[in-house]
Amino acid sequence: MNVLVIVPTYNERENIETLIHAVSKAGSPDAISLLVVDDNSPDGTAGVVRKLMEDPSVRGRLFLLNREKKNGLAGAYVAGLSWGLQREFDLFVEMDADLSHDPTYLPLLIEESRRFDFVIGSRYVKGGVVEDWGVLRGLVSRGGSLFSRIVLGSGIRDLTGGFNAWNRTVFQKVDLAEILSTGYCFQIELKYRAALNGYSWVEVPILFKNRLYGQSKMSGGIALEAVRNVLVLPRRVHG
């Protein structure tokens, strides 16, 4: 199986090298490549990636896709998925660049994807753990997932999570051009659309760590955008 890990970045210079080397050492028997989708980070994240592309340990398996400006998480993932779908990749894994998603879970997600159409690295099933979050952020995250589950009538417990694996067959019915979300709601919408189209899924428990370096991209505006999109998503999807 040819696996493409897609990592959107904006000002992740302090984390990206560690992440790249960790992904390359994940220990999966499958061929894992990594695509960094950088939104013209002013801190020089793309330059770090370009330099690492010459490292023999990752050469030919590390790729960089530059976007002209910061234009939303959804746009970055759509660009990365579209790039991968034009090539011979069988499975696509979404990961954050801030080391909150542990690359040692990659073999588990890949193995489960042999039995399910998409696999969710879940914080909110039995065995899932969130480490070093404050009370407020924990409430916002759990509340956002619960709110989305109720509004959408979904059985997925971690709708908002960003550590997911997608078989390319999912995109035979889920058209990326129809994605409405521009921010973090992208994770909710993609799972919702895939489940509506009858694709099978499973949630596997993960340990989610808080970032060590850099600033979180989450804001009040992003959270409100997610709430608005969830409320209108069923009507837009069902026409």
How far are the Cα atoms of 23, 72, 73, 187, 206 from residue 183, in angstroms, in the given order? 25, 5, 5, 9, 23
pLDDT at 28: 82
Buried-state track 25-38, b at ≥16 Cβ within 10 A, e below 16: ebebebebbbbbbb
CATH T-level assignment (fold) for domain 2-238: Spore Coat Polysaccharide Biosynthesis Protein SpsA; Chain A (3.90.550)
What 8-state DSSP symbol labels residue 10? S
* Domain ranges across the chain: 2-238
How far are the Cα atoms of 18, 24, 98, 114 from residue 212, in angstroms, in the given order? 12, 20, 8, 33
**49-65 per-position pLDDT tens digit:** 999 999 998 999 999 99
Mean pLDDT of each 10-residue bin along the chain, 239 residues long? 96 96 89 96 97 94 93 92 96 96 96 98 95 69 85 94 97 94 89 96 95 56 73 76
pLDDT at 145: 82
pLDDT at 233: 86
**4-52 per-position pLDDT tens digit:** 999 999 999 999 999 999 999 998 878 899 999 999 999 999 999 999 9
Among 229, 73, 88, smallest CA distance to 151 is for 229
